[in-house]
Amino acid sequence: MRTVIAEDHVLLRDGLIRLLVANGFDVVEAVDNGPVLRDALLRHRPDVAVVDVRLPPTFTDEGLVAVLAARREVPGLPVLVLSQYVEQLYARELLADHAGGVGYLLKDRVGNVEEFVAAVRRVADGGTAMDAEVVGQLVGRRATPLAALTPRERAVLELVAEGRSNAAVAAALFVTEKAVGKHISSIFGKLDLAPSDDDNRRVRAVLAYLQAVS
């Protein structure tokens, strides 16, 4: 699985390279600034990119700006943002293009190597991997983001937005997997997400939810 990494801290960058290589990823390039990142993404068109938000030269939003520029030329380019910060404006833009294959994790909340590697793989496969704190900030923790959804359906959808499986959602809400499946089917219906060979309805539901409350 061909991977590009963007991280300006040399020790963390080296650690990410070693970790991903040890888990079967092929790190084709690791960069430390925004302009080089954009070029690397367009040149390699990787299966997934792991990107910090604040990169040189200004340490503001170069990582996300480079990612958005690259995804405009390569729609659906899978990107997992790994940062200390939630840049809400650009994060919403990243999620709102409905291309799938996106994730946003906070560095200080990644406490399990296996879960992190699974998140990278999930994004590479076109899914989502969202930290709960990121989701909370993006939706502003406002009630009733989509009027058609019941409180239970909203709870299910927020957990799905974090990248959790049906089994994990069921465990978190103390319900059965069958009940979760029924809730998700109801969510698809209320969001008017018809079955399609070209789209992942689970990803589209998450993106529609985040876009609706942005």
Residue 42 pLDDT level (bands cut at 50, 70, 90): very high
Residue 88 or 44, more confident: 44
Q: What is the reported pTM?
A: 0.68
The answer on pLDDT for 143 being more than 60 is no
Lowest mean per-residue pLDDT among 11-20, 39-48, 132-141, 186-195:
132-141
Residue 31 or 142, more confident: 31
For 10-25, write each residue's pLDDT tens digit.
Answer: 999 999 999 999 999 9
Q: What is the DSSP letter of 143?
A: S
The answer on pLDDT for 104 being more than 60 is yes
What pLDDT sits at residue 142? 46
Residue 199 pLDDT level (bands cut at 50, 70, 90): low
Which residue, 53, 38, 46, is CA-closest to 20? 46
**Residues 162, 136: Cα–Cα separation, whole Å:** 10
Q: Are 5 and 31 in contact (CB under 8 A)?
A: yes
Token pair 């291309």: residue = 99
In the numeric block, which tokens belong to residue 197?
A: 């060979």
Residue 89 or 98, more confident: 89
Residue 197 pLDDT level (bands cut at 50, 70, 90): low
In the numeric block, which tokens belong to residue 78?
A: 């899978």
The answer on pLDDT for 141 being more than 60 is no
Mean pLDDT of all residues belonging to the chain: 86
